[in-house]
Amino acid sequence: MPLWKIFVDGASNENGVGAVIILISPQGQQLQSSLHFQFEASNNEAEHKAMLAELHLARKVGAANIEVHSDSQLVVKQILGEYQTKGEKMAAYMTRTQDLLQSFKKYFILQIPREQNVFTDTLAKFATNVEAELSRVVLFDHLPMLSIQAPTIINAIDYSTSWMGPLIQHPTTGEFPTDRAAARKI
């Protein structure tokens, strides 16, 4: 029984509403999805919306058996039938979630402590603050020593094929892009 592990978290704060889904295939490959909602929602609604989004994504990748990890006690207990849902909107989320769960051969829903979901939680909070019309790239690197102790190394990165190219060109060369939309961004 190949089992897909899924970590999910939703967040709602003064910056907006977002969610993150991390799917891990039975072979250990990870697929991460970040969602920025263009509507207001409570934190509980964001958690429910994240749960629905991860079920849709799991179906899209062909997962038949899933193990969902969420730090939301409320959402997990509602799905397991241990807590009642209150309000029309929450009842609609639960109905949709239960319908989607029936499309899997086997599923397990686990509530995990927040400290075991820190990475997903951080990405969900980041997703609340992302401007939806801009795609973002987060470069990640490990620093083996203090910067003041490391030799100076300059890595040349070619941004010419990236959306960042015109934005990087201006401060470095002083030239504006010929494309008016890119020039306006500067």
Domain borders along the chain are 4-127, 146-186
pLDDT tens profile 100-131:
999 999 999 988 887 776 666 666 666 666 55
Q: Is the pLDDT of residue 89 over 60?
A: yes
Q: Span 135-148, mean pLDDT?
A: 51
Separation CA 75–CA 100 (nearest Å)? 15
Query: What is the reported pLDDT for 167?
Result: 58
Say if residues 8 and 70 touch (Cβ distance below 8 Å): yes
User: With 60 as the cut, is the pLDDT of residue 186 above it?
Assistant: no
Q: How far apart are CA 107 and CA 67, in angstroms?
A: 6
Q: What is the pTM of this model?
A: 0.65
Average pLDDT, the chain: 75
Q: Which residues are CB-contacts of 54 (< 8 A; sequence separation ≥ 6)?
A: 6, 8, 21, 23, 68
The length of the chain in residues reads 186
* Superfamily per CATH, domain 4-127: Ribonuclease H-like superfamily/Ribonuclease H (3.30.420.10)
Q: Would you list the DSSP string of 118-181? A: HHHHHHHHHHTT--TTS----------S-TTTSPP-------TTSTTHHHHHHHHH-PPPSSHH
Q: What is the mean pLDDT of residues 20-34?
A: 85
| Rg of the chain, C-alpha, whole Å | 21
